[in-house]
Amino acid sequence: MAVFASTILFMTGGCAVANEGGAVPGLEKFHTALAALEDGRRTRPVSILHLGDSHISLDHLTGEMRKLWNERYGNAGRGLQPGVPYQYYSVQGYRISMSGEWEVKSSLPADAHGAFGIQGFVASAARADAEMVLDADEPFDGVEVEVAGAPDTGYLLLAIDDAAPLRLSTYRKTPGLVTLYVPAAQARHLRLSPVGNGGPVRVLGWGVRRSGAKEGGVRYDSYGVVAARLDIVSRWRDDIADAQIERRRPDLIILGYGTNEGFDDALDLAAYRKRLAGLIDRLRRIAPQASIALLGAFDGAREGGVSDSGAGEACGDGWVTPPKLGKLRDLQREVSAEKGAWFWDGEAAMGGRCAIHRWVTQDPPRAWPDHVHLRPSGAREMGDKLWRALMAGTD
């Protein structure tokens, strides 16, 4: 099962409520950064980092938000997960393929271990015939590659359009993050591969930079892992993840976890509260300049009647809401208020309890029959609603 999110906001009928000074509580730093970009006091792109589960990974919801930010402020590029980390991986505006002997490891399993960063995956290879290829719909001005470097790691070959490949070292005296950046001139094609006569390379992610239509622009990095829970973060290497976040200098961090936990009848809510509060505290230490947003879990339901621990509500046709889903959402709201984060109620934005069943059964449907995942049209609709809530008070 894959799940959704959490966000911090004050809601009235699904809308953000600004305080008397016009600022939305919890989003002040983000809105200040956007205002500085718009009036020319800032030339560095506004940076947004969005971490979450399958609602994030499928790129329909996030793609809609990215389009709206790019239309308004300009496109400063984006980061991507390494190669094709899982089946059906697809990102809007790019065609990405992977060939050869790559080993892709995911941080999703509870016993996962490795040099994971915020992308949630590591793609490793040593042979020269292992390739990642990217073709972009729009030209870009720079390429960045994040790798886990170590004393035994080798070299990468990076080819941009038809230029001769560049040889890039991933060596690091002590294991940790290595960030490689290469400028480009209105390029559209990338090819990345190990040199093949040295040690292995471990790719965490890659991405492109663009000069925004306006000075600066917005860079929106969204990294989702299907079926992820909040505790996936505990399996990322602290030194690598912290360095990645610090390098991005995000003005807004969005956390999109919660649905998968809400379907777990055995979930320890007290332990979840502690974990969520601890993550927010950690993010504030790493990125004190950022606003923190929690996306409250979307509505969901399951078949089979009432479980041993009861059910949230009967939605019709044998579908019921999980008993922990609403409690988890309330907990997300409470922690957001305690920590000064912004919260957005995904269930309310869908239309309230059992909205998922209506979305599945209406014509045309906006959600898939599993009563968890949104169809592309429904995801784009929710992306538009979330974007407008995040942007309330900026006009």
The mean pLDDT value for 315-331 works out to: 95
Cβ atoms of 26 and 341 within 8 Å: the answer is yes
The mean pLDDT value for 46-57 works out to: 95
**pLDDT-based confidence at residue 96 (cuts at 50, 70, 90):** very high
Residue 11 has pLDDT above 60, yes or no: no
Residues 254, 290: Cα–Cα separation, whole Å: 10
In 3D space, the residue among 7, 29, 3, 6 whose CA is nearest the CA of residue 16 turns out to be: 7
Residue 301 has pLDDT above 50, yes or no: yes
The model scores a pTM over 0.85? yes
In 3D space, the residue among 117, 130, 116 whose CA is nearest the CA of residue 200 turns out to be: 130
Q: Which residue has the higher pLDDT, 213 or 178?
A: 178
**pLDDT-based confidence at residue 213 (cuts at 50, 70, 90):** low
**pLDDT-based confidence at residue 339 (cuts at 50, 70, 90):** very high
* Whole-number pLDDT of residue 216: 86
The dihedrals phi and psi of 62, each to the nearest 5 degrees, come to: -70, -35
The mean pLDDT value for 58-80 works out to: 95
* Whole-number pLDDT of residue 309: 52
* Whole-number pLDDT of residue 9: 35
The mean pLDDT value for 290-304 works out to: 95
Residues 229, 31: Cα–Cα separation, whole Å: 28
Residues 194, 167: Cα–Cα separation, whole Å: 9
Residues 370, 360: Cα–Cα separation, whole Å: 9
Residue 161 has pLDDT above 80, yes or no: yes
* Whole-number pLDDT of residue 305: 60
Range with lowest mean pLDDT among 191-195, 212-216, 242-246:
212-216
Residue 13 has pLDDT above 70, yes or no: no
Largest CA distance in the chain: 63
Residue 33 has pLDDT above 80, yes or no: yes
* Whole-number pLDDT of residue 329: 97
Residue 203 has pLDDT above 80, yes or no: yes
